Structure 1
Amino acid sequence: MRGKNTVLKEERQQRILEMLHQDGSVLASELSDVLSVSEDTIRRDLRDLFEAGLIQRVHGGAVLRAPRLRYSERVQQTIQGKTAIARAAIQLLRDGQVILMDGGTTTLQVARSIPYTLHATVITNSPAIAMELAEHPNVDMILLGGPLLKSTQTTAGIETVEALRSYQADICLLGICGLHVEAGISTTEREELYIKKVMIERSAEVVALASAEKLNSSTPYIVGPLKLLTHLVTEASVPEEVLMPFRYLGITTIKAEPTETANEKIRA
Structure 2
Amino acid sequence: MAGKLAAEFGVSEDTIRRDLRELAAEGRLQRVHGGALPASPAIAPFGVRHDLESAAKEKIARRAASMIAPGQTVIVVGGTTSVALVKALPPNLRATIVTHSPSVAAALADHATIEVILIGGLLFKHSVVAVGAAAMEGISRIHADLYFMGVTGVHVTARLSTGDFEEAAIKRALAARSAETVVLASSSKLNAASPFVIGDITLAQTIVVEAQCAAELTRPIEEAGVSVLRA
Counterpart of 2:172 in structure 1: which amino acid? K
Counterpart of 1:210 in structure 2: which amino acid? A
Q: Is the 8 A contact 2:66 2:89 kept in 1?
A: no
Q: Is the 8 A contact 2:156 2:224 kept in 1?
A: no
2:112 to 132, 137, 140: 137
Aligned to 1:17: none
Matches for 1:141-152 after TM superposition, within 5 Å = 141-152=116-127
Aligned to 1:112: 87
Among all aligned residue pairs of Structure 1 and Structure 2, give the percentage whose two residues are the same amino acid: 38
TM-score (normalizing by structure 2): 0.95
Partner secondary structure for residue 62 of structure 2: helix
Q: Distance in 2 between matches of 1:33 and 1:120?
A: 58
Matches for 1:105-254 after TM superposition, within 5 Å = 105-254=80-229
Q: Distance in 1 between matches of 2:48 and 2:84?
A: 15
1:28 to 2:28 alignment = no
Aligned to 1:84: 59
1:60 to 2:52 alignment = no
2:71 to 96, 99, 104: 96
Q: Distance in 1 between matches of 2:4 and 2:21?
A: 16
Q: Distance in 2 between matches of 1:207 and 1:102?
A: 11
Counterpart of 1:47 in structure 2: which amino acid? R
Number of equivalenced pairs:
230
1:77 Cα offset (Å): 2.1
1:172 Cα offset (Å): 0.4
1:182 Cα offset (Å): 1.5
Q: Deviations over 1:61-85 (max 9, x none)?
A: 1111112312111122222111100
Q: Distance in 2 between matches of 1:105 and 1:29?
A: 40
Aligned to 1:45: 19
Provide the alpha-carbon RMSD of the alignment. 1.2
Give the structure with higher Rg (CA): 1
Counterpart of 2:5 in structure 1: which amino acid? L
1:135 Cα offset (Å): 2.1
Gaps of 5+ in 1: 1-26, 257-268
Counterpart of 1:242 in structure 2: which amino acid? L
TM-score (normalizing by structure 1): 0.83
